[in-house]
Amino acid sequence: MDVNGEPIDAADLEIRGADVALDGSAIEPGTRVYDVKLEGNTVAQYTTTTAREEIDGVQAVRSTAEMAGMGGGTKQEVAFEAATFRPLFSRVEQQMGAQTLRIDLRLEDARVIGTVEVPGTEARDVAIDAVPGMLLPGMETFAIMVADLDATKRFRMPLVSAQSGTLTAVEFELVGETTVAVAAGEFDAYEVEVSGGPTPQRLFVRKAAPHILLRQEVAGQPITIELKGQK
């Protein structure tokens, strides 16, 4: 279903190459801190740090993210080639009480390989043929960050699902413009709906490029993520 609870036509989710070609060269190093709020109350902090460095002989963007609180914690690391947006690897470890979700994926010889371990199940091996414009978990917000939202108001990209380790299709649609006030300040913003993934979301991103995430809302849940500060 999409963010409005409407069913999505299966034909619209056919797994194919991305609608757009992205260039991450404009992504700058920095750190952003977000408040995670439950029904308006801050219950955790989420910190992302982005670096530019050489990985496997290419100029790459590497992002690390950590969250602690709400009875658990999350650590995520993702890297992709800056100029082509070609994924390099994605690693996630999420602790939920006594249960742990682990993801370790990498692009190797035109295939995504690795393992996905979901609580209550055995670790599964992943081996997927790469398709043009494919994203690994953690690359979604970077795709919006560098997309030309003025010219491309709706686009679709294939994504390796963090839950299943299979390929799915995620659609991003610009649905409006607004002003967003968060702890980090007041910003002119684009409102973007994300559907087709495990959980529909509504993202508010800075209108000025690169379109950094200001607020994230998850459909049907009283949880929001809001930008607290950046440097």
Q: How far apart are CA 100 and CA 204, in angstroms?
A: 29
First-to-final CA distance of the chain: 36
Helices and strands (DSSP H and E) totals, the chain: 1, 14
| Per-position pLDDT tens, the chain of length 231 | 444 555 544 444 456 788 899 999 999 999 999 999 999 899 999 999 999 999 999 999 999 999 987 777 899 999 999 999 999 999 999 887 778 889 999 999 999 999 998 887 888 899 999 999 999 999 999 999 999 998 999 999 999 987 777 889 999 999 999 999 999 999 999 999 999 877 899 999 999 999 999 999 998 889 999 999 998
Reported pTM:
0.87
Cα 58 to chain centroid, rounded? 22
Nearest Cα residue to 204 out of 13, 7, 185, 38 = 185
| Strand stretches in 13-166, DSSP E | 30-38, 41-55, 58-69, 72-81, 87-96, 99-108, 111-117, 124-129, 154-160
